[in-house]
Amino acid sequence: MRNFPIDCEVTFTRPDDNYNGKIGKIADVRSHSGHYMVDVDNARIMRHENDLCEASEFMKEKAMQNELIKTPEKQLVPVIDLEQLVVNTNAIIKIDVDLSIQYIDARVASFAGESEELEAELKKWYKDFAARRLDLTRPVNESLKQVIADEKKIGDYLDKIFAENKAKREAAEAERKKAKYAEVMTTMADMLNSVDLPSEYLAKVVFREEYYNKTMVNKKLADSIQAQIDDQVKLYNGWKAEQELKQQKIKNRELLLQNLNQQYGFNGVYSQFTIEMYSDEQVEQAYKNKKEKQDAEEVKKQAVTETESVVCTQQNNADTSQQSLQKSPNGNNEVRSQEVVKASNQPRSQDANSVSTLSKNFVTKTITITIDAGSAERSAGAMATVEKRLAEMRDNFATKYGVKMEICQQ
């Protein structure tokens, strides 16, 4: 709000005003709408406060502008009053609805009854009314469209300026980062030259994004790089300790295999029992299992061999006894006894001759033992001795070899 006292000299500032630039005097107080009555060139006209400026202030502004023209270095910071950029003519378009209705009612009252002439008159009146309204509002609407377009032009120009400034900042930041990267890498290389680490560990000391920060300089930067180096030194020392421990474990495993080979008579090697795959307990158990399996196979093999030997012996004795019986002059003094030697619970063969039967894992053989010792008494004693030896053989097989043998007497 601009308050001008009566008789205050003012300058007209609206560019499209016929009085633009002229000086007048305030003739009356400010209206509620912000308008003043101004005397100028022997005429009294009304102007809005935004279209006026106190003459003394206007002259000061003109003087400042002249100074800016004379001193170009000051043109970069001109003082701009936004009121000068946005000009408001304060055009108010208003329709007096009440007065319009009063006119319509008066015209209706002047006609008696219904009248097509009245209706035609009012239609024409309304058409003229709407046309006048368009005449008044069209310039305002066009002005608003232009105002919006002009505002957008200013905004677009500012966007262009901002984009250019952003590009400049980004370019400057890129150059700064490039220089900072070279500086940091030089410092890092100097520090790494004094460290005794394999190349694969040195390669893990890297440039971090935080090193671009302007505060990451001098001691703070060196401490951060040194922290990375210390981490790699710890990792390398840990790896060396692991390798030493692994070699010691391999040596201990080879010594264990050497002792087990001597103990069990085997020839196991480290590639069969690596420390990654087997513990010491698992290796010892593997040797025990192999020994037990080997012993069991040997027992079975010996049991089969001895069984076959005994059966052959008994067969030979039976053949000899048979021959002796055939040579005897008579059968009065013969003593016959049949023994069935079995390694299973299979039924005995009813054949009187020697018969071998194989059923699943069991071997059954039926033989007939005939003894002729010259007398019945001596033959009975000899038969008792044979039975005793067969019983001893049965017990020996059971305890020593775990083989079950049955002797069935007929």
pLDDT digits (tens, 9 = 90+) for 16-37: 888 888 899 999 888 877 889 9
Give residue 355's pLDDT. Answer: 47
- pLDDT band at 213; cut points 50, 70, 90: very high
Q: Is residue 209 part of a domain?
A: no
Q: Does pLDDT of 332 surpass 50?
A: no
Integer angstrom CA distances of residue 271 from 141, 243, 254, 274, 287 = 96, 18, 10, 6, 15
Q: How many CB atoms within 10 Å of residue 300?
A: 13
Residues 78 and 128 in one domain: no
Q: What is the CATH number of the domain that holds 37?
A: 2.30.30
pLDDT digits (tens, 9 = 90+) for 121-174: 999 999 999 999 998 888 888 888 999 999 999 999 999 999 999 999 999 999
* Domain termination residue (choose one: 152, 172, 192): 172
Q: Domain residues for 66?
A: 9-85
Residues 316 and 404 in one domain: yes
Residues 128 and 101 in one domain: yes
Integer angstrom CA distances of residue 230 from 55, 149, 174, 223, 268 = 78, 64, 31, 10, 44
Q: Is residue 214 part of a domain?
A: no
Domain count along the chain: 3
Select from 322, 406, 314 the least CA-distant residue to 371. 322
- pTM score, whole prediction: 0.42
Select from 81, 90, 33, 86 the least CA-distant residue to 58. 81
Residues 122 and 24 in one domain: no
Q: Is residue 287 part of a domain?
A: no
Q: What angle do CA 57, 60, 61 make, to 5 degrees?
A: 90
Category of 101 on φ-ψ map: left (φ > 0), alpha (ψ -120 to 50) or beta? alpha
Q: Is residue 385 part of a domain?
A: yes
Residues 63 and 121 in one domain: no
Whether the Cβ atoms of residue 56 and residue 40 lie closer than 8 Å to each other: no
Q: Which residues pair with 46 in a beta bridge?
A: 37
Whether the Cβ atoms of residue 290 and residue 272 lie closer than 8 Å to each other: no
Whether the Cβ atoms of residue 299 and residue 401 lie closer than 8 Å to each other: yes
Residues 59 and 157 in one domain: no
How far apart CA 285 and CA 24 sit, in angstroms, is 121
Residues 29 and 129 in one domain: no
How far apart CA 275 and CA 156 sit, in angstroms, is 75
Q: Is residue 62 part of a domain?
A: yes
Q: What angle do CA 25, 27, 29 make, to 5 degrees?
A: 120
Residues 405 and 305 in one domain: yes
Q: Which residues pair with 227 in a beta bridge?
A: none
Residues 357 and 387 in one domain: yes
Mean pLDDT of 221-236: 96
Q: Is residue 200 part of a domain?
A: no
* Domain termination residue (choose one: 85, 115, 134): 85
How far apart CA 172 and CA 182 sit, in angstroms, is 16
* Domain termination residue (choose one: 142, 172, 202): 172
Residues 131 and 59 in one domain: no
Give residue 197's pLDDT. Answer: 94
Give residue 52's pLDDT. Answer: 87
Residues 305 and 397 in one domain: yes
Q: What angle do CA 246, 252, 255 make, to 5 degrees?
A: 145
Select from 169, 178, 17 the least CA-distant residue to 87. 17
Share the mean pLDDT of the chain.
81
Q: How many CB atoms within 10 Å of residue 254?
A: 13
Lowest pLDDT segment from 169-173, 329-333, 366-370 = 329-333
Give residue 216's pLDDT. Answer: 93
Q: Is residue 201 part of a domain?
A: no
Residues 302 and 379 in one domain: yes
Angle between helices 280-327 and 218-264 (to 10 degrees): 10
User: Where would I find the beta strands (DSSP E) of 278-405?
Assistant: 335-342, 355-359, 362-371
Q: Is residue 126 part of a domain?
A: yes
- pLDDT band at 60; cut points 50, 70, 90: low
Contacts with 90 (C-beta within 8 Å, 6 or more apart), sequence order: 33, 34, 35, 48, 50
